[in-house]
Structures are given as structure tokens and as C-alpha cells.
């Protein structure tokens, strides 16, 4: 909906100015052109009229000159009457007036001004020549002067030039006026077509804008319907409140929860009246007022209500201001979550936690008893074992050569049993410490640990089995985070077992490798070609005092692999093995990539 509204606003932003410009072009441009055409034609008509006025003035001047000449020759012919005299005077006065008018009309034409000046000068010369004899009563003298004035100062050529020049101007102006008229007609026709085109474009633009507006309205309507469908489909009760805390909108889940009818119409009703007054709580109503008028948000307000099914439920109410596109006043969006089941689970979890605390106390008591037992084993049992071993040795020396073979056998069994019992006690104490001591995490170079363990085992083999050959195949190993002493114990047990159970192989082949798992953890593998074991007993492999072979075949206490499992488990990893009798064994263990919070294994 927001995208459609934004698109409509963007289109309106340029379409309205375009419509305004088109209307301006349709109205202003034709008016401007019409004004120009009218002014042009008016100016052309004025110039034509001006040229006609000049031509008329020239003809009037020419008529006055002829009238003056006629009066002069009439006097010269002896016709000296008052009418002729009056005609002569009137023509002379009219000439002056005509010259003034003609000069005023041709003020913008220097050529005509020059010609009119020449004509005026010629007439002035005639006047000077005939002026002294006009009042003479001698016809012969007057005729002679008149003929001389006409001969010496002709005016027909000058007036012809004036008339011809003005006719040329008149013709040019007529042609220009005709061109302007044709151009005006063409431009008027073009303007009409332009107006039609602009009107057509304007109509198309209006129709397109109308179609776009209808399309946007349809899209907005569809978006509104989608939003309403989503709101009605959500199973979480939702309600919108106005400033008076009256319901503006709600979904079906809200109506069903408080009225039992999902189609109930609650718009306009005060919230406090909904659900038989379940919302008529001063605290929640004040919180909603704070949201409305102080722009606060209500988060996880716990409210106990009895809903339409007459069951008491625990509700979490959240509210915040939300703008609506169709109204200016703020509304509050209220969501209600039924957490009754979660509250029951939390109560059960608290009950289980209390039970767990009791179990932890019991385990702590057992651990204290185990610590006391370890102390007793470490101190109280060692003294009797030392006494047994020591007195057996003293008894053997006291008997000396007098002891028979069976006595010596008995004494040897007593001594070896005491030694084995001491070894079992030492291994049990190591196993116990591995479970009780805290992890001291640091960067551990597994390559160096394996190298140190191999060097120690090679030294022991050189002393105990000089002729035995072991082929080591050790791949690249990483540096990771762990407890170095505990991980050293892992390698010592795994590599020691590999050396021990390959004593019948020459050469013995022991492989150590590393790879990364998909989850990023480190997987280490120790593989040998020794005696192996039967996989049906693999479940007992990592238990305390569990052995896959007889003690007469291979020495050991049966605690080494249990210690490996305890260390790896405390590091958050796992341990496993695969083997077959006579085909060697493969042991592997994993260490997580991160040991920031390593899990702890309960003490066994």
C-alpha cells in the first residue's frame, strides 16, 4: 500500500505541472499569437493608409500647383477678374498648407523629404519670379514672366518622382501586407492544429492519469484487503484504539477470545466494556493512556483475565502508537498473547529446579564421600600395602636358601599383588582427579604433545624391548584450546595402548591423523595394526576396570580408556573406537572448536 501511494505521489508530482503547462500553452500561446497577428495587420493597414494619405496629399499639391498655374496664365491672357485674383491667392495659400501636411506625413522618409524640399524650392523660385508682376496690368509682361517661370522651373518631373516613389512604397507595403496576411493565415492554421494537438495530448494525459489513478486505487484496495486478511488470519488477538480508548479495528481472534463469536462487531465500543469488563482495570487503562498521550510503549504487561470460555488466563499485553493513512489522530495498536501454558511450564520448571537442587545436594554429598574415600585410599590403604610388600620381601630374605619353590612362589604372588594394588590405587586417584579438577584452558599444540608422548614411549621401548621397531605415521595436528595436562593424559593412554597391543607386530604401524568436522570440531584418530578386539564388547571399552584381553596377555589396570573418555567428555567432545580381532584398532575423539564454556561431566 505504501509503495502504491508513493508511486502515485511521484506521478502526480510531475503530471500536475505538465497539465498546468499544457493548459498554459493552449490558452496563452494562441492569445499571444493572435495579439501578434492583430498588431501586425494593424501596423500593416496603418502603413498602407499612411502611404495613401501621402499619395492623396501629393495629388492635392499637384492640383494646387496646376490651379496656381491656371490662374497665372489666365491673368497673362488678359482675364483679370476678381475671381481669378482670388483663385490665385487661394492656390498660393493652399500650397503652403499642402507642403506643411506633406512634410508632416513624410517625416519618416528622408528621400521624400528631399524631393518635397526640391519641389518647394522650385515653387518658391516661381513665386519670386512672378511675384513682382502679378499686380501689373500689362498682359504681355505677365505672359512672358509666366512662360519663363514654367520653362525655367518645371514641377511636373519633381511631382512625378514624388508620386512614383510613394507608389513604390505603397506597392512594397501592399506586398508586405499580403505576405503578412498569408503568413497570418498559415500561422493561424498551424495554431489551430497545435491547439487540437495540445487538446488531444491533454485529453490523453487526463485519460491516462485517470486510468493510473483507478489502477492505484484498485491496488490500494487490494493491499488494504490483503492487510485486513492478514490481520484477520493472525491468531494473536489484535485491537486498535482511538484517543477515547474506543475500538477502531480488531481481528477475529480478539472477538472470539472475549465474546466467543469471531464475527462480532466491536468497532466504536469502549475497550473497558469488552469481555464483560475484563479490560476495566485502572492500571492497564492508565498504561494505555500513557501510550496515547506520552508516546510510551507498553511491553509484556501481565494481566489475568477471564475469557469467553469462562477460563482464567494469563495475558501479556503490548501496545504502541501507530499512524493510520486515513486519519490524523493517533491510534494505539494493542496485541494480546495468551501465556497461560508458558506460565504452567515455568511453574513446572521451577518445581523441577527445586528437585534438581535436591539432587545436586545429594550428588555433592556423594562427591564429598568420594573425596573422603579417595583420601582413605591414598593414605589408609597405602600403609598396609607397603607393610605387605615389605614384610613379604623380608620374609623371603629371612628364609633365604631354605625356602622351597612353592614358598618362593607364594611370596612372589604376594609382592606382585601388592604392587598391582598400588598401581590400581594410583590410577584410581588419577581418574578421580580428572573428574574433580577444574579445566585450565590455554592454547595447546597437539603436535608437540604427540611428539613428547612418542619420545617417552620410544625411550621406554629402547630400555624394555631393544629389538622392537615401531613405524610412526603422524600427520599435521592443530593448535586448539584445552587443558594441556589432561590432553597429555589422553595421548599417553591412546598411544601407550597402541604400542602395547602391537607388541606382536614387526614393524608396528601407528598412525595419528586430524580432520575438521562439518560443525568445525576437531577429530583426532589413532590407528594401529595390533591385536584389536571384538566389537560386541565395545560398550564396556571405556568403563573403569574393563579389559578386552586377559591380564596375563597384556598388562594394565583397565582405567586408561576410562580416563580418556572422562577428559574428552569434560572438553565437550566424544570418543569412539572400531576394531576387529587380529586386524588392529582405531580410536578417535573430537574436541569442539570453541571451549569458552566447556561442559562438565558429573563425577563417577
* Residue 148 parent element (H or E): helix 139-152
Record the pTM.
Answer: 0.40
Contacts of 26 (CB under 8 A, 6+ apart): 195, 198, 199, 202
What the block records as the C-alpha cell of 540 is: 564396556
Sign of CA dihedral 465, 470, 476, 480: negative
Contact indicator for 224, 324 with CB cutoff of 8 Å? no
- Closest Cα to residue 119, out of 65, 55, 187? 65
- 242/231 Cα distance (integer angstroms): 18
Alpha-carbon distances, residue 523 vs 53, 251, 487 (angstroms) = 121, 54, 14
Domain 235-338 grouped into CATH 3.30.980.20: no
Q: Which string of DSSP letters, residue by residue, matches 89-126?
A: HHHHHHHHHHHHHHHHHTTT-HHHHHHHHHHHHHHHHH
- 196/159 Cα distance (integer angstroms): 54
Which pLDDT value is given to residue 597?
Answer: 43
- Closest Cα to residue 116, out of 170, 49, 61? 61
What is the b/e burial string over 553-570, where b = at least 16 CB atoms within 10 angstroms of the residue's CB? eeebbbbbbbbbbbbbbb
Cis peptide before 507 (omega within 30 of 0): yes
Helices and strands counted in the chain (H then E): 13, 12
- 154/160 Cα distance (integer angstroms): 11
- 596/604 Cα distance (integer angstroms): 24
Which pLDDT value is given to residue 76?
Answer: 62
For residue 224, count other CB atoms closer than 10 A to its CB. Answer: 13
Which pLDDT value is given to residue 448?
Answer: 92
- 63/145 Cα distance (integer angstroms): 21
SS3 146: helix
Which pLDDT value is given to residue 154?
Answer: 66
- How many Cα neighbours within 13 Å face the side chain of 110? 0
Contact indicator for 123, 96 with CB cutoff of 8 Å? no
Q: What are phi and psi of 533, to 5 degrees?
A: -160, 170
Contacts of 95 (CB under 8 A, 6+ apart): 61, 64, 65, 68, 123
235-338 and 438-591 share one CATH topology?
no
Sign of CA dihedral 138, 144, 147, 150: negative
Contact indicator for 603, 470 with CB cutoff of 8 Å? no
β-pairing, 247-250 with 298-306? unpaired
What the block records as the C-alpha cell of 105 is: 506625413
Q: Domain extents for the chain?
A: 2-194, 235-338, 381-436, 438-591
- Closest Cα to residue 29, out of 182, 185, 187? 187
Alpha-carbon distances, residue 173 vs 46, 47, 49, 51, 204 (angstroms) = 10, 7, 10, 8, 45
What the block records as the C-alpha cell of 189 is: 492554421
- Closest Cα to residue 563, out of 488, 503, 512? 488
Helix 340-375 vs helix 405-436: crossing angle, to nearest 10: 150
- Strands of the 331-338 sheet, one edge to the other: 247-250, 238-241, 331-338, 312-322, 298-306
CA angle 365, 367, 368 (to 5 degrees): 65
Burial class (CB in 10 A: 0-12, 13-18, 19+), 479: exposed
Which pLDDT value is given to residue 348?
Answer: 87
Query: What CATH fold (topology level) applies to the domain 438-591?
Result: Heat Shock Protein 90 (3.30.565)
SS (H, E, C) 170-183: HHHHHHHHHHHHHH
Ranges of the chain with pLDDT below 70: 1-16, 18-20, 22-27, 29-31, 33-34, 37-38, 41, 44, 68-69, 71-73, 75-80, 84, 88, 124-156, 326, 363-364, 366-382, 420, 423-424, 426-438, 537-540, 542-558, 594-604
Amino acid at each position: 500500500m505504501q509503495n502504491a501511494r508513493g508511486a502515485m505521489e511521484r506521478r502526480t508530482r510531475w503530471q500536475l505541472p505538465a497539465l498546468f503547462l499544457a493548459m498554459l500553452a493552449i490558452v496563452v500561446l494562441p492569445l499571444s499569437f493572435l495579439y501578434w497577428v492583430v498588431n501586425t495587420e494593424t501596423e500593416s493597414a496603418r502603413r498602407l493608409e499612411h502611404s495613401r494619405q501621402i499619395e492623396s496629399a501629393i495629388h492635392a499639391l499637384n492640383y494646387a500647383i496646376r490651379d496656381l498655374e491656371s490662374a497665372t496664365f489666365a491673368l497673362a491672357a488678359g482675364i483679370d477678374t476678381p475671381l481669378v485674383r482670388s483663385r490665385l491667392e487661394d492656390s498660393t495659400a493652399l500650397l503652403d498648407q499642402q507642403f506643411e501636411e506633406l512634410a508632416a506625413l513624410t517625416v519618416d522618409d528622408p528621400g521624400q523629404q528631399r524631393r518635397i524640399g526640391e519641389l518647394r524650392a522650385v515653387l518658391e523660385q516661381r513665386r519670386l519670379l512672378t511675384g513682382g508682376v502679378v499686380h501689373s496690368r500689362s498682359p504681355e509682361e505677365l505672359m512672358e514672366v509666366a512662360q519663363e517661370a514654367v520653362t525655367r522651373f518645371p514641377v511636373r518631373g519633381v511631382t512625378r518622382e514624388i508620386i512614383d516613389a510613394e507608389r513604390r512604397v505603397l506597392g512594397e507595403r501592399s506586398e508586405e501586407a499580403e505576405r503578412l496576411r498569408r503568413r497570418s493565415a498559415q500561422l493561424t492554421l498551424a495554431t489551430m492544429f497545435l491547439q487540437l494537438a495540445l487538446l488531444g495530448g491533454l485529453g490523453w494525459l487526463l485519460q491516462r492519469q485517470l486510468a493510473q489513478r483507478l489502477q492505484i486505487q484498485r491496488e490500494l484496495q487490494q493491499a488494504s484487503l490483503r492487510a485486513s486478511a492478514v490481520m484477520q488470519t493472525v491468531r494473536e488477538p489484535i485491537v486498535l484504539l482511538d484517543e477515547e480508548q474506543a475500538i477502531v479495528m480488531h481481528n477475529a481472534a480478539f472477538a472470539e477470545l472475549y465474546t466467543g463469536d469471531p464475527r462480532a462487531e466491536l468497532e466504536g465500543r469502549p475497550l473497558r466494556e469488552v469481555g464483560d469488563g475484563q479490560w476495566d482495570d485502572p492500571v492497564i487503562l492508565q498504561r494505555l493512556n500513557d501510550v496515547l498521550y506520552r508516546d510510551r510503549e507498553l511491553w509484556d504487561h501481565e494481566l489475568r483475565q477471564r475469557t469467553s470460555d469462562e477460563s482464567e488466563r494469563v495475558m501479556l499485553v503490548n501496545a504502541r502508537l501507530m499512524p493510520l493513512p486515513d486519519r490524523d489522530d493517533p491510534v494505539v495498536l494493542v496485541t494480546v498473547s495468551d501465556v497461560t501454558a508458558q506460565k504452567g511450564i515455568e511453574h513446572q520448571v521451577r518445581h523441577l529446579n527445586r528437585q534438581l537442587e535436591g539432587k545436586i545436594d545429594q550428588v555433592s554429598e556423594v562427591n564429598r564421600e568420594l573425596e573422603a574415600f579417595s583420601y582413605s585410599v591414598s593414605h589408609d590403604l597405602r600403609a598396609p600395602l607397603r607393610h605387605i610388600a615389605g614384610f613379604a620381601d623380608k620374609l623371603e630374605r629371612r628364609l633365604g636358601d631354605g625356602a622351597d619353590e612353592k614358598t618362593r612362589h607364594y611370596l612372589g604372588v604376594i609382592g606382585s599383588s601388592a604392587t598391582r594394588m598400588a598401581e590400581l590405587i594410583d590410577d584410581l586417584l588419577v581418574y578421580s582427579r580428572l573428574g574433580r579438577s577444574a579445566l585450565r584452558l590455554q592454547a595447546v599444540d597437539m603436535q608437540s604433545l604427540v611428539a613428547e608422548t612418542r619420545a617417552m614411549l620410544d625411550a621406554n621401548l629402547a630400555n624394555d624391548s631393544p629389538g622392537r621397531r615401531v613405524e610412526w605415521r603422524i600427520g599435521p595436528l592443530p593448535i586448539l584450546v584445552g587443558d594441556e595436562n589432561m590432553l597429555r593424559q589422553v595421548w599417553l593412554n591412546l598411544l601407550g595402548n597402541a604400542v602395547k597391543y602391537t607388541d606382536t607386530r614387526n614393524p608396528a604401524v601407528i598412525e595419528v591423523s586430524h580432520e575438521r568436522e562439518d560443525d568445525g570440531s576437531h577429530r583426532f584418530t589413532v590407528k594401529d595394526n595390533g591385536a584389536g578386539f571384538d566389537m560386541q564388547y565395545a560398550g564396556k571399552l571405556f568403563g573403569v576396570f574393563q579389559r578386552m584381553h586377559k591380564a596375563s596377555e597384556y598388562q594394565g589396570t583397565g582405567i586408561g580408556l576410562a580416563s580418556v573418555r572422562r577428559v574428552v567428555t569434560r572438553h565437550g567432545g566424544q570418543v569412539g573406537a572400531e576394531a576387529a580381532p587380529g586386524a588392529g584398532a582405531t580410536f578417535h575423539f573430537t574436541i569442539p572448536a570453541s571451549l569458552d564454556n566447556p561442559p562438565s561431566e558429573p563425577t563417577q
